[in-house]
Structures are given as structure tokens and as C-alpha cells.
Amino acid sequence: MAAITLLRSASLPGLSDALARDAQHVCSSFLPNNNNNKEKKRRWILCSLKYACLGVDPAPGEIARTSPVYSSLTVTPAGEAVISSEQKVYDVVLKQAALLKRHLRPQPHTIPIIPKDLDLPRNGLKQAYHRCGEICEEYAKTFYLGTMLMTEDRRRAIWAIYVWCRRTDELVDGPNASHITPSALDRWEKRLDDLFTGRPYDMLDAALSDTISKFPIDIQPFRDMIEGMRSDLRKTRYKNFDELYMYCYYVAGTVGLMSVPVMGIAPESKATTESVYSAALALGIANQLTNILRDVGEDARRGRIYLPQDELAEAGLSDEDIFNGVVTNKWRSFMKRQIKRARMFFEEAERGVTELSQASRWPVWASLLLYRQILDEIEANDYNNFTKRAYVGKAKKLLALPVAYGRSLLMPYSLRNSQK
């Protein structure tokens, strides 16, 4: 799931800074079946608030029933129909799910792939994972605590993914972001290609390269995240939610797609692989929308507005209103609509969390509950996200941990419904 929260504008002192040398800039281092029980049970496909309910796997002799995807097409001002961002992203979801299903399918005649020698000193890989854990603990304490319930292989893999995402995010939002150019991101992507072929550049790359050799992780979400960084270099406005949705996928939804193969799906789950990936995507989108709503004032001071321009206009608001930073009734109404949308994505994500392997659920639940509370804090601040930063206090964070743990023990949502 998209349990990794990318915290912007925080440096990682002490991390290796190979990209900076390469770029010659200083870069931060671092529907249930109620027929008789003899009939073959069908696998659930969870309903998505964005994509509609995709239906259930057909019983023998039946034709598969699916609902159309919401917003699969958008219409340009010229009247031309184009594929929406949601459909483009869902195509990636289908690809990731297919990859995981192939990995889980018995393949007795295949030759195992032996990962290439990572050319590390003795105990180097162990040290690399340890360093990834230290970084995760320092910058995502609650999430790190939750990972301690996971198996060692999964825990270390999630740390490695977290660190790569953080390093990538810092390229455009770290203390030396002003020195980063599109060509530097091109080199970072080339480095990613090398990492995926077993040729890591440094010890932190080596941890992720080793993780990739152990889990069915695809390179596409990683490349898409880099594309999100490119977007931050060239784009400061988003015409509509379709554009903003794609951006949220790039910089956060991708994390969920990276993480599902590592966290695993509960063996007793009746949900389809696609629906679990869709829920992971929804959590990433929800987290990023929450980031955006929390940081309106901070982003405005940097000349950035990550809000749908058409919806601002509909609410009678303009860029100037954002830069002036005055809370008005128009702003409150606008924010209520944005918060409602973010909560819809969180609601969609909740069902998917229950389908993960039980040992992997706690950190995801903790992330979901804590991040969703930021929306509550924005409301408590009377929607003043211009000069007040909404945050969840330490006491509330501590109270959320046992709640998250309790929810992690619940049976999968798909299983609960199949027993009704």
C-alpha cells in the first residue's frame, strides 16, 4: 500500500550523494454469491469510488459482468474525446496486478533467476538495509514502528523502497532543488535502469536492487515517480482534477504500486489482485491530496498552486485569492469539497488494507488513520491552511497506534462479505 509518506523539504544528512556528483550539483544525500454452497465461490472485486465496481469473477459458464470505468474519457474544449488520467493509471494497475499474479502462479519448468553480484564488501548488503532502516526510523517513526511486525525480508524491502522514494522526492524539494535540471532527472532514471539490472551505484541502491531480485516489483511505478519530479520542474498550475490526479499518481500513488508485491495479499482474501492494487493507489492519492490541502500556504509562497483551476473558478476564487491567503466563506466552501474528495479516496483505500497479509497491515493502517486526521485538523483550523499548518499532535499519534493495530487483526473485507 501507499504507506510511505514523502515528507517534503527535509534533507537527509549523511546519505551518499552520487547523483550530485553525476549532475555536478549538490543533491541531498541520503457482490457476494448467495446461491447454494456447492457452487464454486466467486472472487470479490472491491468497488472503487473512482473506477466503479468492476464486478465479480464469473462462475463457470457465465459471462463476466463488469461496470464501466468512471471518467474513462474526458472531452476537450474542442469536443475531442481523450483518455482520462484515471484510465491511464488504471492501465498501469492492471499491468502490476498481472505481474504479481504471474509470480504467484506455479511455474515448475522455469529456471530461477539468480541476481547479479552487487559487488559489495562483506556484510555490505546487511549494512545497506540497516542504513535504510535508520532513515525510515528517523523520518517516518510511526510507519517504521509498524514495519517491525513484518517479516524481516518484507520489512527490509519496504525500507529500501521508502529510501529510494525519499531520495527521488528530494531531488526537486530538497535544500538544493534549485540546482536540479531535467537532465539530472534523466541521469537519475538511467541509474534506476542500472539498479533494476543488478548494477547499483551505492549501498542504498544496492538494498533496492536486492529487494527487486526477491519480489515481483516492476520498474514502471519508479519511472512514473521520476516523471512526477519532472512535472514539478515545469508545472505550477493544474487546469482540472484530471491533471491533478495524474500528478498525485506520479508522486504518491506509485508508492502503493511499488509496495503491494512486498506487503503481500492475505492468502484467505477473496479480493482480486487488481482491486488490492486499486486500493493501494487510492491511499497514495488520498495522502497526496491531503499533503496539498495542508500545504496550500507553503506552496503559494513558492509560486505553486496544486488545486484544480476550474474548480477554483467555479467557487469564485482566483490565484490572487490564494496568494492573499484570506479565509472567506468562498474558500471554506471550496475546501469542504476538496476534503470530501480526499476522504472518498481514504474510504476506498480502507477496504484494500484489510486484504493485505496480516503482518503488513499495521503500518498501513497507522499511516491511513494519521494522515486522514490531518483533514480533521484543517477543519479545526477553520480551513486556514494559508498561515496555519495542520498537524496531528503526539498524543493523538500514540492513541492511533492501538486503533491501527486492532484494525490490522480484522479479517479481510472480502471474506467478511462472503460469509453474509
- Tens digit of pLDDT for each residue in 236-274? 999 999 999 999 999 999 999 999 999 999 999 999 999
For the chain, the average pLDDT equals: 81
All three cell numbers of 351: 477496504
Q: Which residues contact 394 (CB under 8 A, 6 or more apart)?
A: none
Burial (CB count <10 Å: 0-12, 13-18, 19+), residue 35 = exposed
Q: Which domain holds residue 268?
A: 87-104+121-411
Q: For residue 335, is it within any domain?
A: yes
Give 319-381 as a 3 state SS string: HHHHHHCCCCHHHHHHHHHHHHHHHHHHHHHHHHHCCECHHHHHHHHHHHHHHHHHHHHHHHC
Q: Is the pLDDT reported for residue 340 higher than 70?
A: yes
In angstroms, the CA 356 to CA 364 distance is: 9
Strand partners, 44: 271
Instruction: Give residue 106's pLDDT band: very low, low, confident or very high (50, 70, 90).
Output: low
What was the pLDDT predicted at 87? 86
What was the pLDDT predicted at 178? 77
Q: Is the pLDDT reported for residue 55 higher than 80?
A: no
Q: Is the pLDDT reported for residue 401 higher than 60?
A: yes
Q: Which residues contact 282 (CB under 8 A, 6 or more apart)?
A: 48, 49, 50, 256, 345, 346, 348, 349, 352
In angstroms, the CA 147 to CA 367 distance is: 11
Strand partners, 73: 83
Domains of the chain: total: 1
pLDDT in tens, 182-220: 999 999 999 999 999 999 999 999 999 999 999 999 999
The domain that contains 150 carries what CATH number? 1.10.600.10
Upper half-sphere CA count for residue 220 (Cβ side, 13 Å): 17
Q: For residue 38, is it within any domain?
A: no
Number of Cβ within 10 Å of residue 106's Cβ equals 6
What was the pLDDT predicted at 75? 55
Yes or no: say if 364 and 353 are a contact pair by the CB < 8 Å rule: yes
Q: For residue 198, is it within any domain?
A: yes
In angstroms, the CA 132 to CA 208 distance is: 10
Q: Is the pLDDT reported for residue 384 higher than 60?
A: yes
Instruction: Give residue 121's pLDDT band: very low, low, confident or very high (50, 70, 90).
Output: low
Core vs surface per residue 143-168: b (16+ CB within 10 A) or e: bbebbebbeeebbbbbbbbbbbbbbb
What was the pLDDT predicted at 357? 94
Average pLDDT, integer, range 391-415: 91
Average pLDDT, integer, range 390-398: 91
All three cell numbers of 111: 529456471
In angstroms, the CA 167 to CA 169 distance is: 5
pTM attached to this predicted model? 0.80
What is the end-to-end Cα distance of the chain in Å, rounded?
27
Yes or no: say if 67 and 275 are a contact pair by the CB < 8 Å rule: no
Which long-range CB contacts under 8 A does 223-228 form with residues at least 24 apart? 223/189, 223/192, 224/92, 224/249, 224/250, 224/254, 225/165, 225/168, 225/250, 225/251, 225/254, 225/255, 226/168, 226/185, 226/188, 226/189, 226/192, 228/254
Q: For residue 58, is it within any domain?
A: no
Q: For residue 229, is it within any domain?
A: yes
In angstroms, the CA 363 to CA 96 distance is: 22
Q: For residue 215, is it within any domain?
A: yes
Q: For residue 300, is it within any domain?
A: yes
From start to end of 159-260, where are the E strands?
A: none
**Position with higher pLDDT, 62 vs 264:** 264
Yes or no: say if 362 and 354 are a contact pair by the CB < 8 Å rule: no
Q: Is the pLDDT reported for residue 31 higher than 90?
A: no
Average pLDDT, integer, range 268-293: 95
Q: For residue 20, is it within any domain?
A: no
